[in-house]
A and B are shown apart, each in its own frame.
Chain A
Protein backbone atom coordinates (compact mmCIF):
# COMPACT_ATOMS: atom_id res chain seq x y z
CA UNK A 1 0.00 0.00 0.00
CA UNK A 2 1.56 3.31 -0.96
CA UNK A 3 1.84 5.92 1.76
CA UNK A 4 -0.09 9.02 0.94
CA UNK A 5 0.81 12.56 1.83
CA UNK A 6 -2.39 13.00 3.85
CA UNK A 7 -1.49 10.02 6.03
CA UNK A 8 1.92 11.50 6.71
CA UNK A 9 0.37 14.82 7.70
CA UNK A 10 -2.09 13.11 10.03
CA UNK A 11 0.61 11.02 11.65
CA UNK A 12 2.80 14.08 12.06
CA UNK A 13 0.02 15.80 13.97
CA UNK A 14 -0.65 12.67 16.04
CA UNK A 15 3.04 12.33 16.79
CA UNK A 16 3.32 15.93 17.94
CA UNK A 17 0.22 15.62 20.15
CA UNK A 18 1.47 12.52 21.98
CA UNK A 19 4.97 13.97 21.93
CA UNK A 20 3.86 17.06 23.82
CA UNK A 21 2.05 15.02 26.48
CA UNK A 22 5.06 12.79 26.80
CA UNK A 23 7.30 15.85 27.05
CA UNK A 24 5.15 17.10 29.92
CA UNK A 25 5.59 13.82 31.81
CA UNK A 26 9.27 13.50 30.94
CA UNK A 27 10.26 17.05 31.81
CA UNK A 28 9.17 16.52 35.42
CA UNK A 29 11.06 13.25 35.49
CA UNK A 30 14.23 14.73 34.06
CA UNK A 31 14.07 17.78 36.32
CA UNK A 32 13.85 15.53 39.37
CA UNK A 33 16.67 13.32 38.16
CA UNK A 34 18.85 16.29 37.28
CA UNK A 35 18.60 17.96 40.65
CA UNK A 36 18.65 15.09 43.12
CA UNK A 37 19.84 12.07 41.14
CA UNK A 38 16.57 10.34 41.95
CA UNK A 39 15.06 8.09 39.31
CA UNK A 40 11.40 8.48 40.20
CA UNK A 41 9.70 5.18 39.47
CA UNK A 42 6.48 6.51 41.01
CA UNK A 43 6.13 9.19 38.32
CA UNK A 44 3.59 7.19 36.31
CA UNK A 45 1.47 6.79 39.44
CA UNK A 46 1.49 10.55 40.01
CA UNK A 47 0.24 10.86 36.42
CA UNK A 48 -2.47 8.27 37.15
CA UNK A 49 -3.51 9.79 40.49
CA UNK A 50 -3.68 13.19 38.80
CA UNK A 51 -6.15 11.75 36.31
CA UNK A 52 -8.24 10.30 39.16
CA UNK A 53 -8.27 13.58 41.07
CA UNK A 54 -9.41 15.09 37.77
CA UNK A 55 -12.23 12.55 37.50
CA UNK A 56 -13.39 13.26 41.05
CA UNK A 57 -13.31 17.02 40.54
CA UNK A 58 -15.22 16.79 37.27
CA UNK A 59 -17.89 14.63 38.91
CA UNK A 60 -18.16 17.14 41.75
CA UNK A 61 -18.00 20.39 39.81
CA UNK A 62 -18.52 19.55 36.15
CA UNK A 63 -15.61 21.75 35.16
CA UNK A 64 -12.73 20.23 33.22
CA UNK A 65 -10.50 23.26 33.66
CA UNK A 66 -11.06 23.35 37.40
CA UNK A 67 -10.23 19.64 37.46
CA UNK A 68 -6.96 20.32 35.65
CA UNK A 69 -6.03 22.96 38.21
CA UNK A 70 -7.13 20.99 41.28
CA UNK A 71 -5.37 17.81 40.13
CA UNK A 72 -2.14 19.71 39.51
CA UNK A 73 -2.19 21.35 42.93
CA UNK A 74 -3.28 18.27 44.89
CA UNK A 75 -0.67 16.03 43.30
CA UNK A 76 2.01 18.71 43.65
CA UNK A 77 1.23 18.76 47.37
CA UNK A 78 1.30 14.96 47.49
CA UNK A 79 4.66 15.10 45.69
CA UNK A 80 6.00 17.48 48.32
CA UNK A 81 4.85 15.18 51.11
CA UNK A 82 6.37 12.15 49.40
CA UNK A 83 9.67 13.95 48.92
CA UNK A 84 9.92 15.11 52.52
CA UNK A 85 8.93 11.78 54.07
CA UNK A 86 10.51 9.31 51.66
CA UNK A 87 13.28 10.85 49.60
CA UNK A 88 14.78 13.57 51.75
CA UNK A 89 16.04 11.08 54.36
CA UNK A 90 17.74 9.11 51.56
CA UNK A 91 19.63 12.03 50.04
CA UNK A 92 23.24 11.18 49.38
CA UNK A 93 22.71 7.44 49.78
CA UNK A 94 23.31 4.85 47.10
CA UNK A 95 20.98 5.59 44.12
CA UNK A 96 19.68 2.04 44.48
CA UNK A 97 17.92 2.96 47.72
CA UNK A 98 15.94 5.75 46.05
CA UNK A 99 15.10 3.49 43.11
CA UNK A 100 13.71 0.90 45.50
CA UNK A 101 11.90 3.53 47.55
CA UNK A 102 10.16 5.09 44.55
CA UNK A 103 9.41 1.67 43.07
CA UNK A 104 7.80 0.62 46.36
CA UNK A 105 5.89 3.87 46.37
CA UNK A 106 4.59 3.21 42.87
CA UNK A 107 3.23 -0.19 43.96
CA UNK A 108 1.56 1.36 47.00
CA UNK A 109 -0.05 4.13 44.96
CA UNK A 110 -1.17 1.80 42.19
CA UNK A 111 -2.80 -0.62 44.58
CA UNK A 112 -4.33 2.21 46.53
CA UNK A 113 -5.97 3.40 43.30
CA UNK A 114 -7.19 -0.12 42.52
CA UNK A 115 -8.63 -0.48 46.02
CA UNK A 116 -10.18 2.98 46.03
CA UNK A 117 -11.51 3.26 42.48
CA UNK A 118 -11.83 -0.35 41.33
CA UNK A 119 -10.64 -1.97 38.12
CA UNK A 120 -13.18 -0.36 35.76
CA UNK A 121 -11.76 2.50 33.75
CA UNK A 122 -13.30 5.92 34.34
CA UNK A 123 -13.88 8.41 31.60
CA UNK A 124 -12.94 12.07 31.59
CA UNK A 125 -15.22 13.99 29.28
CA UNK A 126 -13.24 16.31 27.05
CA UNK A 127 -14.10 19.96 27.63
CA UNK A 128 -15.35 20.36 24.06
CA UNK A 129 -16.10 17.89 21.34
CA UNK A 130 -15.63 19.92 18.15
CA UNK A 131 -13.96 18.43 15.11
CA UNK A 132 -12.41 19.82 12.03
CA UNK A 133 -12.00 17.92 8.82
CA UNK A 134 -8.51 16.80 7.99
CA UNK A 135 -8.52 15.01 4.66
CA UNK A 136 -10.80 12.02 5.22
CA UNK A 137 -10.85 12.39 9.07
CA UNK A 138 -12.87 14.38 11.56
CA UNK A 139 -9.97 15.43 13.72
CA UNK A 140 -10.91 16.47 17.27
CA UNK A 141 -9.91 20.00 18.20
CA UNK A 142 -9.25 18.78 21.71
CA UNK A 143 -6.13 16.93 20.60
CA UNK A 144 -4.63 20.12 19.28
CA UNK A 145 -5.59 21.90 22.48
CA UNK A 146 -3.70 19.25 24.47
CA UNK A 147 -0.60 19.86 22.41
CA UNK A 148 -0.98 23.62 22.80
CA UNK A 149 -1.57 23.48 26.54
CA UNK A 150 1.33 21.10 27.11
CA UNK A 151 3.57 23.41 25.13
CA UNK A 152 2.32 26.35 27.19
CA UNK A 153 3.02 24.58 30.49
CA UNK A 154 6.50 23.57 29.36
CA UNK A 155 7.09 27.10 28.09
CA UNK A 156 6.05 28.52 31.44
CA UNK A 157 8.40 26.11 33.20
CA UNK A 158 11.20 27.18 30.92
CA UNK A 159 10.59 30.88 31.57
CA UNK A 160 10.44 30.20 35.29
CA UNK A 161 13.72 28.29 35.23
CA UNK A 162 15.38 30.87 33.01
CA UNK A 163 14.37 34.10 34.68
CA UNK A 164 12.80 33.46 38.06
CA UNK A 165 14.82 33.70 41.24
CA UNK A 166 13.65 30.24 42.22
CA UNK A 167 14.47 29.04 38.73
CA UNK A 168 18.04 30.21 39.23
CA UNK A 169 18.07 28.45 42.59
CA UNK A 170 16.93 25.25 40.90
CA UNK A 171 19.56 25.47 38.18
CA UNK A 172 22.31 26.36 40.64
CA UNK A 173 21.34 23.43 42.88
CA UNK A 174 21.26 21.10 39.88
CA UNK A 175 24.80 22.09 38.97
CA UNK A 176 26.41 22.14 42.40
CA UNK A 177 24.36 21.24 45.42
CA UNK A 178 27.11 22.03 47.93
CA UNK A 179 28.03 25.44 46.54
CA UNK A 180 24.34 26.33 46.21
CA UNK A 181 23.85 25.76 49.90
CA UNK A 182 26.99 27.78 50.69
CA UNK A 183 25.34 30.64 48.76
CA UNK A 184 22.36 30.56 51.09
CA UNK A 185 20.03 28.57 48.85
CA UNK A 186 17.87 26.27 51.01
CA UNK A 187 18.74 23.14 49.07
CA UNK A 188 16.43 20.67 50.90
CA UNK A 189 13.43 22.88 50.09
CA UNK A 190 14.54 23.37 46.51
CA UNK A 191 14.51 19.58 46.17
CA UNK A 192 11.02 19.42 47.65
CA UNK A 193 9.77 22.17 45.36
CA UNK A 194 11.22 20.50 42.26
CA UNK A 195 9.62 17.20 43.18
CA UNK A 196 6.31 18.98 43.68
CA UNK A 197 6.62 20.74 40.31
CA UNK A 198 7.41 17.45 38.57
CA UNK A 199 4.48 15.74 40.31
CA UNK A 200 2.12 18.58 39.39
CA UNK A 201 3.19 18.41 35.75
CA UNK A 202 2.61 14.66 35.70
CA UNK A 203 -0.86 15.19 37.16
CA UNK A 204 -1.67 17.87 34.58
CA UNK A 205 -0.72 15.52 31.77
CA UNK A 206 -2.82 12.79 33.37
CA UNK A 207 -5.91 14.99 33.27
CA UNK A 208 -5.18 16.27 29.76
CA UNK A 209 -4.64 12.79 28.42
CA UNK A 210 -7.52 11.18 30.37
CA UNK A 211 -10.18 11.84 27.70
CA UNK A 212 -8.16 10.00 25.07
CA UNK A 213 -7.54 6.73 26.91
CA UNK A 214 -9.76 6.39 29.97
CA UNK A 215 -8.49 6.45 33.53
CA UNK A 216 -7.44 3.28 35.35
CA UNK A 217 -4.95 2.32 38.00
CA UNK A 218 -2.38 0.98 35.54
CA UNK A 219 -2.43 3.84 33.05
CA UNK A 220 0.81 5.24 34.43
CA UNK A 221 2.89 2.23 33.46
CA UNK A 222 3.03 2.81 29.71
CA UNK A 223 3.71 6.46 30.14
CA UNK A 224 6.43 6.22 32.67
CA UNK A 225 8.20 3.61 30.57
CA UNK A 226 8.09 5.89 27.55
CA UNK A 227 9.07 8.87 29.65
CA UNK A 228 12.15 6.95 30.85
CA UNK A 229 13.10 6.17 27.27
CA UNK A 230 12.74 9.82 26.39
CA UNK A 231 14.75 10.97 29.40
CA UNK A 232 17.62 8.65 28.49
CA UNK A 233 17.50 9.44 24.78
CA UNK A 234 17.38 13.17 25.56
CA UNK A 235 20.26 12.98 28.03
CA UNK A 236 19.60 12.34 31.72
CA UNK A 237 18.67 15.54 33.48
CA UNK A 238 18.63 17.62 30.31
CA UNK A 239 15.28 19.39 30.02
CA UNK A 240 15.55 20.60 26.44
CA UNK A 241 16.89 17.23 25.35
CA UNK A 242 13.97 15.41 26.96
CA UNK A 243 11.44 17.60 25.20
CA UNK A 244 13.14 17.16 21.84
CA UNK A 245 13.41 13.42 22.43
CA UNK A 246 9.73 13.16 23.41
CA UNK A 247 8.65 14.68 20.11
CA UNK A 248 11.26 12.78 18.13
CA UNK A 249 10.33 9.38 19.55
CA UNK A 250 6.59 10.03 19.27
CA UNK A 251 6.93 11.09 15.65
CA UNK A 252 8.96 7.99 14.84
CA UNK A 253 6.29 5.81 16.44
CA UNK A 254 3.54 7.63 14.60
CA UNK A 255 5.28 7.15 11.26
CA UNK A 256 6.09 3.55 12.05
CA UNK A 257 2.42 2.85 12.67
CA UNK A 258 1.77 3.67 8.99
CA UNK A 259 3.29 0.30 8.24
CA UNK A 260 2.76 -1.77 11.37
CA UNK A 261 0.18 -1.79 14.14
CA UNK A 262 0.59 0.89 16.84
CA UNK A 263 1.43 -1.83 19.37
CA UNK A 264 4.35 -2.92 17.22
CA UNK A 265 5.38 0.64 16.52
CA UNK A 266 6.44 0.91 20.17
CA UNK A 267 9.41 -1.24 19.22
CA UNK A 268 10.83 1.81 17.45
CA UNK A 269 11.22 3.61 20.79
CA UNK A 270 13.20 0.75 22.23
CA UNK A 271 15.41 0.56 19.17
CA UNK A 272 16.13 4.27 19.53
CA UNK A 273 16.85 3.73 23.23
CA UNK A 274 19.29 0.90 22.59
CA UNK A 275 21.05 2.76 19.77
CA UNK A 276 21.36 5.83 21.99
CA UNK A 277 22.83 3.82 24.84
CA UNK A 278 25.27 2.14 22.45
CA UNK A 279 26.46 5.12 20.49
CA UNK A 280 25.62 8.27 22.41
CA UNK A 281 25.07 7.36 26.05
CA UNK A 282 25.03 11.00 27.14
CA UNK A 283 21.93 11.59 25.03
CA UNK A 284 21.04 12.38 21.43
CA UNK A 285 20.24 16.01 21.95
CA UNK A 286 23.14 17.20 24.04
CA UNK A 287 26.27 18.74 22.65
CA UNK A 288 29.23 16.41 23.00
CA UNK A 289 30.41 16.78 26.59
CA UNK A 290 33.68 18.62 27.06
Chain B
Protein backbone atom coordinates (compact mmCIF):
# COMPACT_ATOMS: atom_id res chain seq x y z
CA UNK B 1 0.00 0.00 0.00
CA UNK B 2 1.32 3.41 -0.87
CA UNK B 3 1.90 5.11 2.43
CA UNK B 4 -0.13 8.17 3.25
CA UNK B 5 -2.39 8.04 0.23
CA UNK B 6 -4.90 5.62 1.71
CA UNK B 7 -6.81 6.67 4.84
CA UNK B 8 -6.80 4.46 7.91
CA UNK B 9 -10.33 3.00 7.67
CA UNK B 10 -11.26 2.22 4.11
CA UNK B 11 -14.84 2.75 2.92
CA UNK B 12 -14.78 -0.26 0.62
CA UNK B 13 -12.36 -3.13 0.93
CA UNK B 14 -12.20 -5.92 -1.61
CA UNK B 15 -10.20 -8.83 -0.36
CA UNK B 16 -9.07 -11.74 -2.48
CA UNK B 17 -12.24 -12.16 -4.53
CA UNK B 18 -12.57 -14.93 -7.06
CA UNK B 19 -15.50 -14.58 -9.42
CA UNK B 20 -16.73 -17.00 -12.05
CA UNK B 21 -19.19 -16.64 -14.93
CA UNK B 22 -20.33 -20.20 -15.27
CA UNK B 23 -17.10 -22.10 -15.69
CA UNK B 24 -14.88 -19.23 -16.75
CA UNK B 25 -12.76 -17.89 -13.96
CA UNK B 26 -12.82 -14.09 -14.32
CA UNK B 27 -11.32 -12.70 -11.13
CA UNK B 28 -8.31 -14.42 -9.57
CA UNK B 29 -8.11 -12.96 -6.10
CA UNK B 30 -8.62 -9.23 -6.63
CA UNK B 31 -7.90 -7.02 -3.63
CA UNK B 32 -8.25 -3.27 -3.46
CA UNK B 33 -9.58 -0.57 -1.23
CA UNK B 34 -11.17 2.84 -1.49
CA UNK B 35 -10.98 5.34 1.33
CA UNK B 36 -13.82 7.72 2.24
CA UNK B 37 -14.01 10.47 -0.36
CA UNK B 38 -11.18 9.01 -2.36
CA UNK B 39 -11.20 8.79 -6.15
CA UNK B 40 -9.56 5.54 -7.17
CA UNK B 41 -8.96 4.38 -10.71
CA UNK B 42 -8.98 0.85 -12.06
CA UNK B 43 -7.12 0.61 -15.34
CA UNK B 44 -6.48 -2.27 -17.66
CA UNK B 45 -7.15 -3.62 -21.11
CA UNK B 46 -10.49 -4.97 -22.24
CA UNK B 47 -11.56 -8.17 -20.56
CA UNK B 48 -9.18 -8.12 -17.58
CA UNK B 49 -12.09 -8.10 -15.11
CA UNK B 50 -12.52 -4.41 -14.27
CA UNK B 51 -16.28 -4.39 -14.80
CA UNK B 52 -16.64 -7.72 -13.05
CA UNK B 53 -14.86 -6.24 -10.05
CA UNK B 54 -17.43 -3.44 -9.90
CA UNK B 55 -20.30 -5.89 -10.36
CA UNK B 56 -18.96 -8.02 -7.54
CA UNK B 57 -18.78 -5.02 -5.21
CA UNK B 58 -22.38 -4.11 -6.19
CA UNK B 59 -23.56 -7.64 -5.41
CA UNK B 60 -24.61 -8.27 -9.01
CA UNK B 61 -22.32 -11.28 -9.23
CA UNK B 62 -21.35 -13.32 -6.24
CA UNK B 63 -17.72 -14.11 -5.58
CA UNK B 64 -16.97 -17.76 -4.91
CA UNK B 65 -14.17 -16.78 -2.56
CA UNK B 66 -13.08 -13.62 -0.82
CA UNK B 67 -14.85 -10.82 0.91
CA UNK B 68 -16.18 -7.34 0.21
CA UNK B 69 -16.36 -5.01 3.21
CA UNK B 70 -18.16 -1.70 3.46
CA UNK B 71 -17.47 0.64 6.37
CA UNK B 72 -15.81 -2.23 8.14
CA UNK B 73 -18.67 -4.75 7.87
CA UNK B 74 -18.88 -7.58 5.38
CA UNK B 75 -21.35 -7.12 2.53
CA UNK B 76 -20.46 -10.20 0.49
CA UNK B 77 -23.65 -11.81 -0.79
CA UNK B 78 -25.99 -8.96 0.20
CA UNK B 79 -28.68 -8.16 -2.40
CA UNK B 80 -27.86 -5.15 -4.61
CA UNK B 81 -30.88 -3.20 -3.39
CA UNK B 82 -29.62 -3.42 0.18
CA UNK B 83 -26.19 -2.16 -0.91
CA UNK B 84 -27.79 0.72 -2.80
CA UNK B 85 -29.62 1.73 0.37
CA UNK B 86 -26.36 1.52 2.32
CA UNK B 87 -24.89 4.14 0.02
CA UNK B 88 -23.27 2.42 -2.95
CA UNK B 89 -24.19 3.96 -6.29
CA UNK B 90 -23.62 2.09 -9.54
CA UNK B 91 -23.23 3.56 -13.01
CA UNK B 92 -22.86 0.62 -15.39
CA UNK B 93 -20.83 0.59 -18.56
CA UNK B 94 -23.87 0.39 -20.84
CA UNK B 95 -25.65 3.06 -18.70
CA UNK B 96 -28.79 0.97 -18.44
CA UNK B 97 -31.20 3.87 -18.44
CA UNK B 98 -34.82 2.81 -17.96
CA UNK B 99 -35.61 3.63 -21.56
CA UNK B 100 -39.37 3.86 -21.27
CA UNK B 101 -39.30 5.91 -18.09
CA UNK B 102 -38.98 9.67 -18.31
CA UNK B 103 -35.84 11.38 -17.06
CA UNK B 104 -37.71 12.42 -13.93
CA UNK B 105 -38.97 8.87 -13.35
CA UNK B 106 -35.47 7.51 -13.83
CA UNK B 107 -34.31 9.86 -11.10
CA UNK B 108 -37.26 8.91 -8.89
CA UNK B 109 -36.17 5.25 -8.89
CA UNK B 110 -33.38 6.35 -6.58
CA UNK B 111 -35.07 9.34 -4.99
CA UNK B 112 -38.26 7.79 -3.66
CA UNK B 113 -36.80 6.18 -0.57
CA UNK B 114 -38.09 6.10 2.94
CA UNK B 115 -36.65 8.82 5.10
CA UNK B 116 -36.23 11.43 2.37
CA UNK B 117 -38.65 14.33 2.80
CA UNK B 118 -39.88 16.48 -0.06
CA UNK B 119 -37.54 19.30 0.78
CA UNK B 120 -34.48 17.09 0.57
CA UNK B 121 -35.75 15.50 -2.63
CA UNK B 122 -36.08 18.92 -4.19
CA UNK B 123 -32.61 19.89 -3.00
CA UNK B 124 -31.16 16.74 -4.56
CA UNK B 125 -32.99 17.36 -7.83
CA UNK B 126 -31.88 20.98 -7.88
CA UNK B 127 -28.31 19.87 -7.39
CA UNK B 128 -28.26 17.42 -10.31
CA UNK B 129 -30.15 19.85 -12.53
CA UNK B 130 -27.46 22.40 -11.74
CA UNK B 131 -24.74 19.92 -12.72
CA UNK B 132 -26.68 18.65 -15.73
CA UNK B 133 -28.96 21.44 -16.98
CA UNK B 134 -29.88 19.38 -20.02
CA UNK B 135 -31.64 16.86 -17.78
CA UNK B 136 -33.85 19.60 -16.39
CA UNK B 137 -34.88 20.54 -19.93
CA UNK B 138 -35.70 16.94 -20.74
CA UNK B 139 -37.23 15.88 -17.48
CA UNK B 140 -40.45 14.67 -19.10
CA UNK B 141 -38.79 12.98 -22.04
CA UNK B 142 -38.36 9.19 -22.17
CA UNK B 143 -34.85 8.11 -21.19
CA UNK B 144 -34.48 6.10 -24.40
CA UNK B 145 -34.78 9.25 -26.51
CA UNK B 146 -31.69 10.91 -24.99
CA UNK B 147 -28.34 10.98 -26.76
CA UNK B 148 -25.50 8.78 -25.53
CA UNK B 149 -23.89 11.62 -23.59
CA UNK B 150 -27.19 12.67 -22.04
CA UNK B 151 -27.86 9.08 -21.04
CA UNK B 152 -24.47 8.95 -19.35
CA UNK B 153 -25.31 12.10 -17.41
CA UNK B 154 -28.67 10.65 -16.46
CA UNK B 155 -26.98 7.45 -15.28
CA UNK B 156 -24.66 9.44 -13.02
CA UNK B 157 -27.45 11.75 -11.84
CA UNK B 158 -29.62 8.72 -11.07
CA UNK B 159 -26.88 7.21 -8.91
CA UNK B 160 -26.49 10.56 -7.13
CA UNK B 161 -30.14 10.37 -6.08
CA UNK B 162 -29.13 7.66 -3.62
CA UNK B 163 -26.85 10.15 -1.83
CA UNK B 164 -24.15 7.51 -2.06
CA UNK B 165 -20.91 7.47 -0.15
CA UNK B 166 -19.26 5.81 -3.11
CA UNK B 167 -20.11 5.62 -6.79
CA UNK B 168 -18.88 2.72 -8.90
CA UNK B 169 -18.33 4.36 -12.27
CA UNK B 170 -17.84 1.98 -15.19
CA UNK B 171 -16.26 3.56 -18.30
CA UNK B 172 -18.28 6.76 -18.20
CA UNK B 173 -16.49 8.30 -21.18
CA UNK B 174 -16.79 5.34 -23.52
CA UNK B 175 -18.02 6.49 -26.91
CA UNK B 176 -18.51 10.11 -25.89
CA UNK B 177 -17.47 13.25 -27.72
CA UNK B 178 -14.45 15.10 -26.26
CA UNK B 179 -16.68 17.90 -24.98
CA UNK B 180 -18.74 15.35 -23.05
CA UNK B 181 -15.60 13.72 -21.71
CA UNK B 182 -14.47 16.96 -20.13
CA UNK B 183 -17.93 17.41 -18.64
CA UNK B 184 -17.72 13.94 -17.07
CA UNK B 185 -14.30 14.93 -15.76
CA UNK B 186 -15.81 17.99 -14.09
CA UNK B 187 -18.57 15.91 -12.53
CA UNK B 188 -16.04 13.53 -11.03
CA UNK B 189 -14.27 16.53 -9.56
CA UNK B 190 -17.50 17.97 -8.20
CA UNK B 191 -18.42 14.65 -6.59
CA UNK B 192 -14.96 14.48 -5.09
CA UNK B 193 -15.37 17.95 -3.59
CA UNK B 194 -18.63 16.79 -2.04
CA UNK B 195 -16.78 13.95 -0.38
CA UNK B 196 -18.21 11.13 -2.50
CA UNK B 197 -15.73 8.34 -3.08
CA UNK B 198 -15.44 7.02 -6.62
CA UNK B 199 -14.12 3.76 -7.98
CA UNK B 200 -13.54 4.61 -11.61
CA UNK B 201 -13.06 1.97 -14.27
CA UNK B 202 -11.64 3.49 -17.44
CA UNK B 203 -9.71 2.96 -20.63
CA UNK B 204 -9.09 6.66 -20.98
CA UNK B 205 -5.65 6.92 -19.36
CA UNK B 206 -5.19 10.71 -19.32
CA UNK B 207 -8.59 11.24 -17.73
CA UNK B 208 -7.92 8.59 -15.08
CA UNK B 209 -4.50 10.02 -14.26
CA UNK B 210 -6.01 13.48 -13.85
CA UNK B 211 -9.12 12.55 -11.91
CA UNK B 212 -7.83 9.92 -9.52
CA UNK B 213 -5.59 9.97 -6.49
CA UNK B 214 -4.65 6.33 -6.61
CA UNK B 215 -4.76 3.81 -9.42
CA UNK B 216 -4.83 0.05 -9.59
CA UNK B 217 -3.68 -1.66 -12.75
CA UNK B 218 -5.32 -4.94 -13.63
CA UNK B 219 -4.24 -7.77 -15.86
CA UNK B 220 -5.78 -11.20 -16.40
CA UNK B 221 -8.18 -11.00 -13.49
CA UNK B 222 -5.65 -9.73 -10.99
CA UNK B 223 -4.43 -6.42 -9.64
CA UNK B 224 -0.81 -6.29 -10.78
CA UNK B 225 0.26 -2.86 -9.74
CA UNK B 226 -0.89 0.06 -7.69
CA UNK B 227 0.46 3.55 -7.36
CA UNK B 228 -0.53 7.13 -6.77
CA UNK B 229 -1.66 8.95 -9.86
CA UNK B 230 1.26 11.32 -9.41
CA UNK B 231 3.73 8.45 -9.51
CA UNK B 232 2.12 7.01 -12.63
CA UNK B 233 2.10 10.35 -14.40
CA UNK B 234 5.86 10.32 -14.00
CA UNK B 235 6.23 6.71 -15.10
CA UNK B 236 4.78 6.18 -18.57
CA UNK B 237 6.48 2.78 -18.88
CA UNK B 238 4.14 1.14 -16.36
CA UNK B 239 1.08 2.48 -18.14
CA UNK B 240 2.51 1.24 -21.41
CA UNK B 241 3.08 -2.18 -19.95
CA UNK B 242 -0.51 -2.66 -18.77
CA UNK B 243 -2.47 -0.64 -21.28
CA UNK B 244 -0.34 -1.13 -24.36
CA UNK B 245 -0.38 2.59 -25.16
List A residues at the B interface (Cβ < 8 Å). 165, 168-169, 171-172, 175-176, 178-188
Known: A171-B100, A176-B98. A183 touches B110 (CB 8 A): yes
B98 with A171: CB separation less than 8 A: yes
Determine if B113 is an interface residue (Cβ-Cβ < 8 Å): yes
A168 with B105: CB separation less than 8 A: yes
Residues from chain A with Cβ under 8 Å of B105 in the complex: 168, 171-172
A183 with B99: CB separation less than 8 A: no
Determine if B109 is an interface residue (Cβ-Cβ < 8 Å): yes
Determine if B146 is an interface residue (Cβ-Cβ < 8 Å): no
Q: 16 A-B pairs, CB-CB below 8 angstroms?
A: A165-B112, A168-B105, A169-B109, A171-B98, A171-B105, A175-B99, A176-B96, A181-B60, A181-B84, A182-B60, A183-B109, A183-B158, A184-B162, A186-B79, A187-B79, A188-B79
A168 with B109: CB separation less than 8 A: yes
Determine if B216 is an interface residue (Cβ-Cβ < 8 Å): no
Known: A172-B109, A179-B92, A179-B96. A184 touches B101 (CB 8 A): no
Query: Nearest Cβ in chain A — how far from B162, in angstroms?
Result: 6
| Interface residues of chain A: helix, strand, loop or mixed (majority) | helix
Q: Which residues of chain B from 76 to 123 have a CB within 8 Å of any chain A CB?
A: 79-81, 84-85, 90, 92, 96, 98-101, 105-106, 108-110, 112-113
Q: Considering the chains assembled together, what is the distance between the CA atoms of A175 and B109 in angstroms? A: 12
Q: Considering the chains assembled together, what is the distance between the CA atoms of A185 and B58 in angstroms? A: 14
B112 with A172: CB separation less than 8 A: no
Residues from chain A with Cβ under 8 Å of B100 in the complex: 171, 175
Q: Considering the chains assembled together, what is the distance between the CA atoms of A175 and B106 in angstroms? A: 11
Highest count of chain A CB atoms <10 Å: which of B79, B98, B106, B158: B98
Query: Nearest Cβ in chain A — how far from B102, in angstroms?
Result: 10
Q: Which of B60, B85, B92, B98 contacts A184 (CB 8 A)?
A: B85
Residues from chain B with Cβ under 8 Å of A169 in the complex: 109, 112
Bin the interface of chain B by size: 20 to 34
Residues from chain A with Cβ under 8 Å of B101 in the complex: 168, 171-172, 175
Q: Considering the chains assembled together, what is the distance between the CA atoms of A171 and B96 in angstroms? A: 14
Query: Nearest Cβ in chain A — how far from B46, in angstroms?
Result: 21
B84 with A184: CB separation less than 8 A: yes
A181 with B79: CB separation less than 8 A: yes
Q: Considering the chains assembled together, what is the distance between the CA atoms of A165 and B161 in angstroms? A: 14
Q: Which of A165, A171, A175, A184 contacts B81 (CB 8 A)?
A: A184
B81 with A179: CB separation less than 8 A: no
Residues from chain A with Cβ under 8 Å of B158 in the complex: 183
B60 with A168: CB separation less than 8 A: no
Q: Considering the chains assembled together, what is the distance between the CA atoms of A172 and B60 in angstroms? A: 17
Residues from chain B with Cβ under 8 Å of A165 in the complex: 108, 112
Known: A165-B108, A172-B101, A175-B101. A181 touches B96 (CB 8 A): no
Q: Quick one: closest B residue to A187, CB to CB?
A: B81
**6 additional contacts, CB 8 Å, given A181-B80, A183-B162, A187-B79?**
A171-B100, A180-B98, A183-B84, A183-B159, A184-B81, A184-B109
A178 with B60: CB separation less than 8 A: yes
Q: Which of A168, A176, A182, A186 contacts B58 (CB 8 A)?
A: A182
Residues from chain B with Cβ under 8 Å of A188 in the complex: 79
A178 with B108: CB separation less than 8 A: no
Residues from chain B with Cβ under 8 Å of A171 in the complex: 98, 100-101, 105
Q: Which of B96, B99, B106 contacts A178 (CB 8 A)?
A: B96
The 0/1 profile, CB within 8 Å of A marked 1, for residues 164-195 of chain B is: 00000000000000000000000000000000
Q: Quick one: closest B residue to A178, CB to CB?
A: B60
Query: Nearest Cβ in chain A — how far from B156, in angstroms?
Result: 13
A-B pairs with lowest CB-CB distance, top 10:
A184-B84, A165-B112, A181-B80, A179-B96, A182-B90, A183-B109, A181-B81, A172-B109, A183-B110, A186-B81
Query: Nearest Cβ in chain A — how far from B109, in angstroms?
Result: 4
Known: A168-B108, A182-B92. A175 touches B80 (CB 8 A): no
Residues from chain B with Cβ under 8 Å of A182 in the complex: 58, 60, 80-81, 84, 90, 92
B109 with A180: CB separation less than 8 A: yes
Q: Considering the chains assembled together, what is the distance between the CA atoms of A183 and B91 in angstroms? A: 10
Highest count of chain B CB atoms <10 Å: which of A165, A172, A175, A182: A182
Q: Quick one: closest A residue to B100, CB to CB?
A: A175
Q: Which residues of chain B from 45 to 99 have a CB within 8 Å of any chain A CB?
A: 58, 60, 79-81, 84-85, 90, 92, 96, 98-99
Q: Which residues of chain B from 138 to 176 have a CB within 8 Å of any chain A CB?
A: 158-159, 162
